[in-house]
Amino acid sequence: MMKNAVEVRGLTVVRGRTTVLDGLDLVIGGGVTGLLGPSGCGKTTLMRALVGVQQVRSGTVTVFGEPAGTPPLRDRVGYVTQAASVYDDLTVSENLRFFAQVLGVGPEEVERSAAAVDLTPHLGQVVGTMSGGQRSRVSLAVALLKHPDLLVLDEPTVGLDPVLRQELWGLFHRLADAGAAVLVSSHVMDEAERCDRLLLMRSGEVIADGTPDEIRERTGAADIEGAFLAVVGGGAPQ
């Protein structure tokens, strides 16, 4: 398993008038890492910095030894945003073929990435007629076209039913087992248990970092939600 996929040093990001991240230090390795914290704590901002689309005030973000967002990383980092970034009026297959062409990957990757997210039976379906979970998986399939070594997924399970959530988490672990570093954000604390490592965030800071077991043991809490509350000193999540 890789040690440092991502190294963040002294990262400060100001958005509008808000200092969202203030001198953040962080290292992310292989496996499935969960980034958990209340809405507005800076998860998306941090993810944007990792993929190189966020203007930063100061500090460094290094991915596989290269500055985030630079050309050597283009084929190595996949990013799925909260908003689906596929075309509703095209079929799954048409979407994947279109993005394959844009990304310069062969048509054989279309079938592989559709199969990876269990969408083979839906290749001919128009995306606009699919359920939320299926559409999320189309976005994910696009991100998989290039075999990314780092996959950054911003709240990929939002609005999905428990069965689909479980399926997607299974997929994240299969991708991690195949060698990718997978970073998944969520504000649903019960998803924490599914991560190899957890980063609990609040107000732009990482307030706990460890396996779910370690974090529960350290705080004496029964679950991650309790651990989160213990770390923030009893304050309720926003």
Ligand X SMILES: Nc1ncnc2c1ncn2[C@@H]1O[C@H](COP(=O)(O)OP(=O)(O)OP(=O)(O)O)[C@@H](O)[C@H]1O
Q: Does position 237 bind ligand X by CB under 6 A?
A: no
**3-state secondary structure string, 103-168?**
HCCCCHHHHHHHHHCCCHHHCCCEHHHCCHHHHHHHHHHHHHCCCCCEEEECCCCCCCCHHHHHHH
Which is nearer to ligand X, 31 or 38 (by Cβ)? 38
CB of 53 vs ligand X, minimal distance in Å: 12
Start-to-end Cα distance in the chain: 35
Per-residue contact track with ligand X, 151 to 180, x per CB under 6 A? ------------------------------
CB of 82 vs ligand X, minimal distance in Å: 6
Query: 146, 187, 197, 202: which one contacts ligand X (CB under 6 A)?
Result: 187
Question: Which H or E run contains 185?
Answer: strand 181-186
Q: Does position 41 bind ligand X by CB under 6 A?
A: yes
Segment interacting with ligand X, rule: CB under 6 A, options 33-41, 102-110, 211-219, 229-237: 33-41
Q: Does position 61 bind ligand X by CB under 6 A?
A: no
Dihedrals φ, ψ of 210, to 5°?
Answer: 170, -175
Distance of alpha carbon 237 from alpha carbon 232, whole angstroms: 9
Question: Which H or E run contains 79?
Answer: strand 77-80
> Which residues are CB-neighbours of 7 under 8 A, at least 6 positions away?
26, 27, 60, 61, 62
Segment interacting with ligand X, rule: CB under 6 A, options 32-40, 106-114, 119-127, 209-217: 32-40
Q: Does position 215 bind ligand X by CB under 6 A?
A: no
Q: Does position 9 bind ligand X by CB under 6 A?
A: no
List interacting residues with ligand X (CB under 6 A): 15-16, 18, 20, 37, 39-45, 187
